[in-house]
Every structure is written in C-alpha cells, then in structure tokens.
A = this chain, B = another copy of it.
Amino acid sequence: MTTETGHLARPTLSGSLAEAVIRMIGEEGLVAGERIGPQRDLAARFGVAVPTMREALRRLEGLGILSFRHGSGIYVGENYNRSVLPNAVLPPADRERLVELVQARVLIEPAIAHQAATVREPAAVARLADLLQDAHRCLTTGEDRLWRVNVDLHRAIADAAGNRIVAEVLDVILLLHAEDQRRILTLHGDPRADYEEHAELVRLITAGEADEVARRMHEHLTDVAGAIGPAKD
C-alpha cells in the first residue's frame, strides 16, 4: 500500500542519461518542435555508446517528451515540461472504462467552468468566441471538424481557468481513447443542442456567472452520461 515509489528512482545509466538530456534541453532553452543534437554527438558528449544513448532517448520518446524522425533528427516533443501525461499504449477500452471517462468529465468540468468564469483568462476567453463561431460554421456546412472544434472549446474553457495542471488533466481525459469517445458521443449527441449549450456556457463564462455555468456544464455533460451510462450494451 504505502510503499509505492512511483517509479521515480533512476539509479541506472539510462535513467540518469534521460535526466541529463532533460537538463540539457532546459539549459539550451529548446522548446517543442526544435531539434536536439544528433544521437552520435549526444552519445559522445555524455561518454556512452550509441545504443545506450538511444535507450535513454527512447524512454523520453515514450513519454512524448521527444520525437524521432528517421533521417531528419530528434526533436523536443509536446510533453516537455508537461506534468500530466496520457498512457499512450493503453489496452483497448471496455464500455465500463468509457463510462468512467465520461463520468470523470461530469465530476471535473463543472468545477473547471466555475473557475473559468471567475478567472476569465483573456486569451482563452477570446478563443472561446472564435471556436463558437467556428462551430457554427461547421454546423451549417456539415463539416467533420465539428467534433474537434467542440473538444477544443472544452479545452479552451479549461485554459480560461488559468491553471496549467487543470488544463493538462482535462487534456489527458479528452485524449484518452479519443476515437472511442468520439464515436460514443457523436452517436448519442445532438449537434444542434450541443451548439446551443456551448453558446450558453461561453456567454455565462464571459459574464462571470460562475455558479450558473457550473450548473449548466453539469447538465450539459450529464445528458450524455445518462444516455450512455445505463445502457448495458
């Protein structure tokens, strides 16, 4: 029970190498998308053989902190300096797992919306308006992008709450079994009603109506959860 080291110890060479690479990225001020040196140079720099260096780099690739491109180079990934990460190699989800995923959203997102209406991070609030408009466009033209836009809208709400950890948590939840979530939610959802509810959520956040937006967000998500939850397949 209370043992649990959380796999944080790194007594191994490969482990300390990974740590050293992280430090190096920080010192050189590299950001996501930029290239780190060639593996051969890195190996020489840290005084190890290429395969050993590659093991350390692969480890970071698993976390999404690095990204390999054959023939091109090794690049800093999106998850560098990100705290909460999704398990990228998760076994396929059963129905129960998906229900839990949606219920987790029911639990967390109202609180996020409440905070968003309180903090109202300007950049994110501006993006809310854009996304809403974009969603409306997709709705009239029937574009496939609608799902993505709606997800981005929920993420923008989290951004408006002004807390990176919270934003990352929601990000991960929305990313987990993303395809399954999309299938299940588009199946049970009404695009028109979704849009109206999103518009109302954005209005309430902009107006700073924290309590009301939390209530509405709860309803917005409970509708979906209720539709898929009880169904036993």
Interface residues in chain A, defined as those with a beta carbon under 8 Å from any beta carbon in chain B: 1-2, 4, 6-8, 12, 14, 18-19, 22-23, 26, 51, 54-56, 58-65, 67-68, 70, 77-79, 81-91, 97, 100-101, 103-104, 107-108, 110-112, 115, 145, 148-149, 152, 161, 163-166, 169, 172-173, 175-176, 178
Residue from A4, A8, A61, A90 having most chain B Cβ neighbours under 10 A: A61
Contacts of A58 in B (CB 8 A): 14, 55-56, 58-59, 62
A203 CB → nearest B CB, Å: 22
CB-based contact B86/A90 at 8 Å: no
16 additional A-B residue pairs with CB within 8 Å, beyond A81-B90, A103-B163:
A1-B152, A2-B152, A55-B58, A56-B58, A60-B62, A60-B89, A65-B89, A83-B87, A84-B169, A84-B173, A107-B161, A107-B163, A108-B169, A110-B111, A111-B111, A165-B176
- Number of this chain's copies in the complex: 2
CB-based contact B89/A63 at 8 Å: yes
Q: How far is the CA of A170 from the CA of B60 in the complex (A)?
A: 23
CB-based contact B18/A91 at 8 Å: no
For A84, give its contact among B84, B103, B110, B164 (CB under 8 Å).
B84
A sample of 15 inter-chain contacts (CB < 8 A) reads: A1-B152, A2-B145, A2-B149, A8-B88, A12-B68, A12-B70, A22-B89, A51-B51, A62-B63, A65-B87, A82-B87, A84-B86, A85-B86, A100-B163, A107-B161
Of all chain B residues, the one with the shortest Cβ separation from A155 is: B2
A10 CB → nearest B CB, Å: 8
Contacts of A108 in B (CB 8 A): 108, 111, 166, 169
For A83, give its contact among B56, B67, B176 (CB under 8 Å).
B176
Contacts of A89 in B (CB 8 A): 18-19, 22, 60, 63, 65
